Amino acid sequence: MQVKSLFPAQTQPLEQSLQSCPVLSILRLPAPTDLGKAAESLHAGGIRVLEITLPTPGCLEAVSALRQRYPGGELRIGVGTVLSQEEASRAIGAGAEFLVTPVLDEATVQESIRHGIPILPGVFTPTEAWRAWTMGAPIVKLFPADSLSSS
């Protein structure tokens, strides 16, 4: 059964990129000078969706630079570890094509939706997943996944 996206116009480019390469790489590096090189290497290796975590030094500047380097959407650039509406606004202003959060924060989800930017909020329980979906988040991030057992 195929499920239609709640916001196909918003998420279509992200979903298409994930279908062609179902990996979302996360960059969390100690120095901003490494971000461009790391992104180029990941792209050369076939990665099409890249999240740069907001605590990474130079994150927003790197997002802007990478959006200019890959203007045709061949590399989708997002910002992760977004914790507030203000951080969401700054990431969107820098050119983030999607946002990822470790928690479910309604104001952050609404800020993303208001700007037409897909958001992947962190959820852990079925209730949180349902809340995210009803808020308008088309995709969720199971977090922290490492605390779940395989049984």
Catalytic residues: 51, 141
Strands (E), 14-75: 24-27, 49-53
**Residue type (1 letter), 45:** G
Antiparallel, parallel or unpaired: β 122-123 and 99-100: unpaired
Beta-bridge mates of residue 141: 122
DSSP state of 146: G
Contact 47, 74 (CB under 8 A): no
DSSP state of 147: G
